[in-house]
Amino acid sequence: MIASTSTGDVFQTVDGGGRWTPYGEGLPVTEGEVLAALLIRSGTAWLGQGTLFARRGRDTTWRATGQDLGAAAISALVEDAQGRFFAGTRHQGLFRSNDQGSTWVPLNQGFEREWVRLVLVGSAETKRVYVSVLRRGLFRSDDGGTTWTKVGDGLPLNDDVEALAADPADPDRLYAGTHDHGLYVSFDGGSRFRVPDRVLQEPVADIIASLIDRPTRRDSALFPTPPPAFQKCTGCHGWADPVLSRKPTYWRVAPNQRDWAPTVARMAPGAGLTADEQRQVTEFLMRYTARR
């Protein structure tokens, strides 16, 4: 397995997640939050950032494959049955490549400047493509991306679809996972959705409330007091939940035991950390993970 993080780090595991090792050789050093999409096909791993990178199993480094999409920032990457790549981007819509990323063609009709959160392609028998667009909803193309139709009747208004899957035995049956309202199902290719039968939906607000209200004992040996600078970090994705951070148990799940210096260095500009605050936060994270 290969995992990319919002700080631009890439890791791999060859034992099912037992141990992770760095796997980002050759990738550019970036600052702030990074969007990255991963795709693995036929022994090659593809990583989309502003540029598409490729790395085979025996390669020692990632290599750029072609046209740079620059500020577009690839946020979703899939391959269809014909070997074409579809790249959803942040603020630049959707692109398609017929040559594994060497060149890209924009495929937009109504969401040219939007953030495409996910892309789903249909079976070999169809040319169907779905995209979920931030705050715009779900779109479907039946001609490989040339024209688009807004679909998704029945989905909650102003709630983004963040997961989408098609039934392999029935391409018209879709399952959509929403940000705040759980799971929905469609039996007509996404035109209409409803809540599936016999699926319990628990509101996200109730889940968060149960975490906040759960009584726990604080042990200063296990939960050292963070430096004041750590409060700057709670506003950044990937550090800690801002709501839960106001509780004594400000971190419910222990982070990985690893060298946090590169991560803190990349996130420091976005959090507004001074050099001394950066050092304090790094030392705190190292102490915290060591005690866990």
Domain ranges of the chain: 2-151, 204-291
Residue 110's pLDDT band (boundaries 50, 70, 90)? confident
Picking from 85, 87, 89, 86, the residue whose alpha carbon sits closest to that of residue 100 is 85
pLDDT surpassing 60 at residue 29 = yes
Per-residue pLDDT tens digits for 117-150:
999 998 777 789 999 999 899 999 999 999 999 9
Identify the weakest region by mean pLDDT among 43-57, 192-206, 274-288.
Answer: 192-206
pLDDT band for position 204 (50/70/90)? low
Question: Quick one: pLDDT at residue 253?
Answer: 43
Identify the band that residue 239 occupies on the pLDDT scale cut at 50, 70 and 90. Answer: very low
User: In the predicted model, what is the mean pLDDT of residues 61-69?
Assistant: 86
Please give the residue that has the higher pLDDT: either 72 or 3: 3
Whether the predicted pLDDT of 292 surpasses 80:
no
Rg (CA), the chain: 21
What whole-number percentage of the chain has pLDDT above 70? 80
User: What span, in angstroms and rounded, lies between the C-alpha atoms of 115 and 89?
Assistant: 6
Q: Supply the pLDDT for residue 138.
A: 95
Tokens of residue 23, six digits: 């796997």
The residue length of the chain stands at 292
Q: How many CA atoms lie within 13 A of 114 on its CB side?
A: 19
Residue 61, amino acid: T
Could you tell me which CATH number the domain at 2-151 has?
A: 2.130.10.10
Query: Does residue 241 surpass a pLDDT of 60?
Result: no
